[in-house]
Structure 1
Amino acid sequence: MSGYYNGKRAKGNFDPARADSFNVSRSKIDLFLECPRCFYLDRRLGVARPPGFPFSLNSAVDALLKKEFDIHRAKKNSHPLMERYNIKAVPFEHSDIDKWRNNLVGIRFLYKPANLLVFGAVDDVWVNPKGELHVVDYKATSKDTEVNLDAEWQDGYKRQVEVYQWLFRQNGFKVSDTAYFVYANGRRDRRAFDGRLEFDVTVIPYKGDDAWVPETLRNIRKTLVSEDIPEAGEACDYCLYRRDAGEALKEAILKKRAPAAVGATRVGRGNNNNELKTQKLF
């Protein structure tokens, strides 16, 4: 087993018999929308998708941007990017800013109708002269074309900031519908690397709408308490792989030997000639 995949969990899974609230992160909300079956496998049955390897360069850009904006937070003035894009705001100074940006803590709210404790770690928060908060998310990429939010796969980015907007509103803050993506695009047009990577940094505004969040949380609750395994997402490669791999393994094993039992097939004899060994399909 690799150092990234930990196998089936015995703890931290949803238990319908328990009355206490259940933690659901922003990323798990997005997983539910992408594929209810993968969400159920993860949160109810304890089998999560194998995680991807960490993007170290992206994490470095994220950390440096936070340090840079923190300088202006301490000075209570605008970052040059804000001035370039005519954004009337400054980085928001609050005693909980480090908690909100901590992946293990984040900003939290107990949504009682679904008994779910929702949380998420925001990259940054700005505040405008009206006292409204702007949710800010940092992104890093490297592409030859201009960065935007037009790709279908970027819908997850939009839902991400909408969950954050909802969380801040539930915590009593006045929140603007406009969120900002600070996009760092690594340049490929330099003649040589020379030990450094240069970025073009763009700020993209996005008008969010968090109206979908409460209903989604209620649907998550219904899914978690149900004994019925939900359908797979239409575009879920993980479920498609599990299906195809399962069918291929079953076909190969049953082709080799007639099945000795449901879910197993005889593949040979043990130390005792009268004892048949079985091979599981999964």
Structure 2
Amino acid sequence: MSDYYSSRRTRNLFNPKSSEPFRLSRSKIDLFLECPRCFYIDRRLGVARPAGFPFNLNSAVDHLLKKEFDVHRAEGTPHPLMDTYGIDAVPFKHKDIDTWRENFVGVQYLHKNTNFLITGAVDDVWVNKKEELIVVDYKATSKDSEINLDAEWQDGYKRQMEVYQWLLRQNGFKVSDTGYFVYANGKRDRKAFDGRLEFDVTIIPYTGSSNWINSTLLKIHASLNNNAIPESKKTCDYCSYINSVADVTKVSEKIVIKKIPVKTSEKLTLFDAKDVV
């Protein structure tokens, strides 16, 4: 079994009879929207989707951007990129900023209507002259086309930012509707690698709306308290794979091994033949 995947989990499962708050991360909220069935099997039954291997280059870019912005956070000065894009803000200085950015901790809020402890780890937070917090998310890629947020799969990025904005608001902060994606795009037009990878950095504004979050949490709560496994989404590749495996497995189970005697010049032997019945 891979070190990155445990096929069956018995801890941190939703128990309808428990009065303890149930921890629900931003990514699991998004999983519910992707496929209610996969979400239920994960959070209620303990079998998660196989996780992808970590992208260490992306993590390195994320780490270095945080270090870069932290220098300006300590000095209370805007990053040059803010000046370039006309963003009148500075990195937000707060005693909990490192906690907010820590994986598996992040910004937290207890949603009383569901008893869910909602969590989300932000990449960065800035503050403007109106004392509004600005949610910032770092992304890394490498492509020749224009950097934008137009692809359908990037809707998850937008929901991610909206959950972070919502979490900070629930913690009593004044939060701007506009957040920013800081996109680092690895250049592929260089003549040689020469032991270094160069990036163009683009800042993309996004105006978020958290109107969908409360109703989604109520749907998640209703689903987890139901003993029936939900239907899968038609667009879910994981469920499509599982269903296809089940179909071909049913066919293969019809294959029966029979022992057929064969007479050779030396003696009578047996060999295995597979007959489909």
- TM-score under structure 1 length normalisation: 0.90
Equivalent in the alignment of 1:108: 108
Aligned residue number for residue 97 of structure 2: 97
1:137-159 deviations in Å (ceiling 9; x for gaps): 00000000110000000000000
Task: Give the Cα separation in 1 of the matches to 2:148 and 2:55.
Answer: 20
Describe the superposition over 1:37-67 as per-residue Cα deviations: whole angstroms up to 9, x where unpaired.
0000000000000100000000000000000
The structural deviation recorded for 1:255 is 3.4
Q: What letter matches 2:241 in structure 1?
A: Y
Q: Hey, what does 2:237 align to over in structure 1?
A: 237
Query: 1:170-201: CA deviations, max 9, x gaps?
Result: 00000000000000000000000011000000
Distance (whole Å) between structure 2 residues aligned to residue 194 and residue 206 of structure 1: 36
For 1:228 and 1:256, locate their aligned partners in 2 and report how far apart those are by CA, in whole Å: 35
Is there any run of 5+ residues in structure 1 with no aligned partner, and where?
A: 258-266, 269-282
1:142-161 matches, within 5 Å, as: 142-161=142-161
TM-superposed CA distance for 1:254, in Å, is 2.2
Match of 1:246, SS state, is: helix
Name which one, 1 or 2, has greater alpha-carbon Rg.
Answer: 2
Could you say what secondary structure the match of 1:136 adopts? Answer: strand
**Which residue does 1:36 correspond to in 2?**
36
- Give 1:256 deviation, angstroms: 2.9
Residue 227 of structure 1 aligns to which amino acid in structure 2? N
Separation in 1, partners of 2:172, 2:57: 35
Q: Residue 184 of structure 1 aligns to which amino acid in structure 2?
A: A
How many residues were matched structurally?
259
Partner of 1:223: 223
| 1:129 has 2:137 as partner | no
Segments of 4+ moved more than 4 angstroms: none
Q: How does 1:201-220 map to 2 (within 5 A)?
A: 201-220=201-220
TM-score of the two chains, using structure 2 as the length reference: 0.92
Residue in structure 2 matched with residue 166 of structure 1 by the alignment: 166
Distance, in Å, in 2 between the alignment partners of 1:9 and 1:160 is 25
What SS class does the counterpart of residue 130 from structure 2 fall into? coil
Question: SS in structure 2 opposite 1:256?
Answer: strand
What secondary structure sits across from 2:227 in the alignment? coil
Please show how residues 1-282 of structure 1 align to structure 2 within 5 Å. Answer: 1-256=1-256
Structure 2: 5+ residue runs without aligned partners? 260-277
- The whole-number CA distance in structure 1 between the counterparts of 2:56 and 2:138 is 14
1:71-105 CA-partner distances (Å, limit 9, x unpaired): 00000000000000000000000000000000121
Give the distance between the partners of 2:12 and 2:203, measured in 1 at CA. 38
Q: Secondary structure of the equivalent of 1:193?
A: coil
